[in-house]
């Protein structure tokens, strides 16, 4: 189970997430209580292990600006969490190796997720960051052949149930492991990752030629150390 801890605002929380076993950390560049400057993100990333996936989160930003900020920050990939069209997503994909498209559960975009051209789709609640859980049955509307990241109101207490029902490729959490907006709680982070990894689901077999992640038998988006 791929685990992403999002809304990282400081080095200590990034290192905490890594130490607890997270595969990825996310940095919010969109307007948010958790917004962080690209230059600060670059400093934090320089202190992380090379195999940790780093993602920048944007919302309805111009594609050129997304690429510019991603390069300045040095993130491996981006998450487009607004109303971006398939053409915008594809334009960003020409310059960024990993693009996650965020969609609202039950929306038109969720039902046509394959048109965005990326294999990674994050399914969220109607109000991202609200800490509210959506009806997980709606995740079934995502077309096949897409790696789904489940988000929206996940906590250490419900992540296992969400994984059992949705069987996603990965999970994403921000407010559900915080003591305050932008500040992660070590106990909650540890419990979230442990509970996410406790669920025994049928593993997705990597596609032909797809590299596996740093932990044996677990697929990763790609081998970051090829860069």
Over the stretch 177-187, which tens digit does the pLDDT of each residue have?
Answer: 999 989 999 99
Least confident of 10-24, 166-180, 194-208: 194-208
Q: Is 124 a catalytic residue?
A: yes
What is d(CA 113, CA 123) in angstroms, rounded to the nearest whole number? 10
**Residue length of the chain:** 227
Instruction: Reply yes or no on whether the pLDDT at 116 is more than 50.
Output: yes
Q: Model confidence at 211, in pLDDT bands (50, 70, 90)?
A: very low
Tokens of 148: 């789904």
What's the average model confidence in pLDDT over 4-24?
A: 97
pTM of the shown model: 0.87
Give the rounded percent of residues in the chain with a pLDDT score beyond 70: 86
Which candidate, 126, 116, 174, places its Cα nearest to that of 147?
A: 116
Average pLDDT, rounded, for the chain: 89
Instruction: Reply yes or no on whether the pLDDT at 217 is more than 70.
Output: no
What's the average model confidence in pLDDT over 83-94?
A: 97
What's the angle, vertex CA 47, arms to CA 23 and CA 35, rounded to 5?
75
What is d(CA 221, CA 147) in angstroms, rounded to the nearest whole number? 10
Q: Is 6 a catalytic residue?
A: yes
Instruction: Reply yes or no on whether the pLDDT at 124 is more than 70.
Output: yes
Instruction: Reply yes or no on whether the pLDDT at 203 is more than 70.
Output: no
Residue with tokens 């998450």: 79
pLDDT of residue 201: 60
Domains of the chain: 2-201 (3.20.20.70)
pLDDT of residue 66: 98
Question: What 8-state DSSP symbol labels residue 77?
Answer: E
**Active-site annotation holder among 13, 23, 124, 147:** 124
**Active-site annotation holder among 6, 23, 109, 172:** 6
* pLDDT tens-place string over residues 130-147: 667 899 999 999 999 999
């Amino acid at each position: 189970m791929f685990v992403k801890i999002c809304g990282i605002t400081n080095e200590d929380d990034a290192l905490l997430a890594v130490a607890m076993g997270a595969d990825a950390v996310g940095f919010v560049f969109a307007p948010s209580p958790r917004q962080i400057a690209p230059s600060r993100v670059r400093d934090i990333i320089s202190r992380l292990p090379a195999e940790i996936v780093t993602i920048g989160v944007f919302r309805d930003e111009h594609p050129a600006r997304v690429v510019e900020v991603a390069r300045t920050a040095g993130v491996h990939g981006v998450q487009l969490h607004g109303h971006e069209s398939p053409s915008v997503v594809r334009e960003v994909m020409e310059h960024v190796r990993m693009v996650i498209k965020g969609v609202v559960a039950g929306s038109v975009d969720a039902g046509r997720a394959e048109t965005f051209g990326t294999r990674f789709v994050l399914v969220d609640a109607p109000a991202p960051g609200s800490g509210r859980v959506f009806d997980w049955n709606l995740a079934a509307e995502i077309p096949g052949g897409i790696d789904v990241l489940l988000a929206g109101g996940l906590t250490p207490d419900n992540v296992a149930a969400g994984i059992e029902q949705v069987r996603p490729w990965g999970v994403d959490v921000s407010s559900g492991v915080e003591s305050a907006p932008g500040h992660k709680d070590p106990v909650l982070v540890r419990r979230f990752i442990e509970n996410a990894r406790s669920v025994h689901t049928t593993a997705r077999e990597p596609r032909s030629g797809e590299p596996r992640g740093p932990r044996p038998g677990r697929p990763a988006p790609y081998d970051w150390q090829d860069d």
